[in-house]
Structure 1
Amino acid sequence: MTTKNLIQREKKRQKLEQKYHLIRRSSKKEIRQVPSLNEKWEIYGKLQSPPRNSAPTRLRRRCFLTGRPRTHYRDFGLSGQILREMFHACLLPGARRSSW
């Protein structure tokens, strides 16, 4: 299991990303519309003013149950390890397990 402080840090990043999402989107739209290079540099400066943790690339998808960051399946929101256990327990309808 992931430690609680890592999960809380991830939640804090998600809140920051939601808070600054509109600011980032509007400034990127401005960059595309402005023809002069000097004005673009000024807008890039504005784009760097929000906190680093508000960037969407800083987010990490984690397992819903365990918080595991690796082998994360987006469709289920679970890690591969938990998904396999659920397959074997027949908790996911329509899923087939393979053994060879």
Structure 2
Amino acid sequence: MAKESIKARQKKREKIVLKYAKIRKRLKLSNNYKLLQKLPRNASPVRLRNRCSITGRCRGYMRKFGISRIMFRHLVSQGLIPGVKKVSW
């Protein structure tokens, strides 16, 4: 489990990215890099990190399901993810 402060920081960044998205796009199209640099650093979508929606873990993230590999295995073994079943041979 990620610390609550890291989860909160990620949510804060997501809000800031959405807030400045139109401004960033307009400044990039007009090649006005001076004003683009004046925007907050967290306004850049590059600073976002994919995190598990349940635990906040950033490594082993499965984009299709939005969760980490550990939670994926846990939920699949319980049968909570439809269309996916545990492989055995």
TM-score by length of 2: 0.91
TM-score by length of 1: 0.82
Q: Which residue does 2:26 correspond to in 1?
A: 26
Q: What is the rounded CA distance, in whole Å, between the counterparts of 2:7 and 2:81 in structure 1?
A: 26
Contact 2:79 2:85 in 1 (8 A): no
Q: Which runs of 5+ in 1 are unaligned?
A: 32-42
Secondary structure at the aligned position of 1:48 is classed as: helix
Aligned length: 89
Q: Which residue does 1:36 correspond to in 2?
A: none
Q: Which residue does 1:4 correspond to in 2?
A: 4
Q: Which residue does 1:96 correspond to in 2?
A: 85
Q: Deviations over 1:13-37 (max 9, x none)?
A: 1111111111110111123xxxxxx
Q: Which residue does 1:51 correspond to in 2?
A: 40
Q: Deviations over 1:23-80 (max 9, x none)?
A: 110111123xxxxxxxxxxx11111110111110000111111010111112211101
Q: What is the rounded CA distance, in whole Å, between the counterparts of 1:15 and 1:74 in structure 2?
A: 20
Secondary structure at the aligned position of 2:88 is classed as: coil
Fraction of identical pairs, as percent? 42
Secondary structure at the aligned position of 1:61 is classed as: coil
Secondary structure at the aligned position of 2:30 is classed as: helix
Query: Are residues 1:83 and 2:72 paired?
Result: yes
